[in-house]
Structure 1
């Protein structure tokens, strides 16, 4: 009887240890594998037509070891870029994002609507433009132009790109280098017009 009681107590203790360790391990792995930023993007109140197909991509790590985490989301919308951009901008403003006006937003001129946003420790780029309807040929040769057909599928809708990164990893959040030539300092190697050593030394008489 004593051996059975000890065996039962041992089994109960082992089960308790496993359960107490498995539950935190489960939630820990779940937190590591799932990014809360995408939950925030999923919570944006955009119409169903503005988020037909969604593709997510993640690079870097959340601890900013060598490279901070970059979240990228590509969404297909069924309506025009202007209407789609208006829907996303209203959703971002309603979710606490603030419009961020920066001279480097965008870095270079792009087609469509490109806006930047900030919220807490995050920065967000929103780019809405026309969809890519004709993919480039694989071999690089120009694709033949077929005869127009009324039954041909029309290229409509728009393409949405969202990039979210940590503000400390966004170089646009820090001070920008000045281009004022008056603030460049003094030339450490000045050039003298009259060099006293340039004259030849007098020859001894």
Structure 2
């Protein structure tokens, strides 16, 4: 085998080897709702179980909130991978990764290798969501409902000729002021998803 042939084969082998070694990029949501659902521990589990060539990172809200911990997985080309496992959503999101078994199943599916859950010291994540900790999706729905109810009240009072009537007397612009107050108050319902305290995975490169 001459030098030219050897160089050509090397040029072909190196990219192919790199492709075989490359694998999925796992992104764990670390926003408020998923953290209430235990994404901090889910991150530790996934970081512990992920193959050494698998990149584990954190990210912001993936939606749908309240079904977490949510995880998104991308292939080496950056394309999102569907959760095509039997009985799962077949959606571009791995939902409710709340145990070592779930994490191992997800990683086995996306890397096409057998991943054992026994490597993790955490068996199941701990949810800190209380009975009044509504998820962001529910809060947004309630916020929109509040807007609709307010608009219907304004419309019905206008049709009934009672617009701006307070205590039997007309108070100019009182209803518009009330509607504005409702809108301002609704901005404090916790519909934002950002949480500045984001942990980094132990094996992030």
Q: TM-score, normalising length from structure 2?
A: 0.27
Q: Which has the higher strand share?
A: 1
Higher relative contact order (CA 8 A, sep 6+): 2
Q: Which has the higher helix share?
A: 2
Of the two, which has the highest radius of gyration? Answer: 1
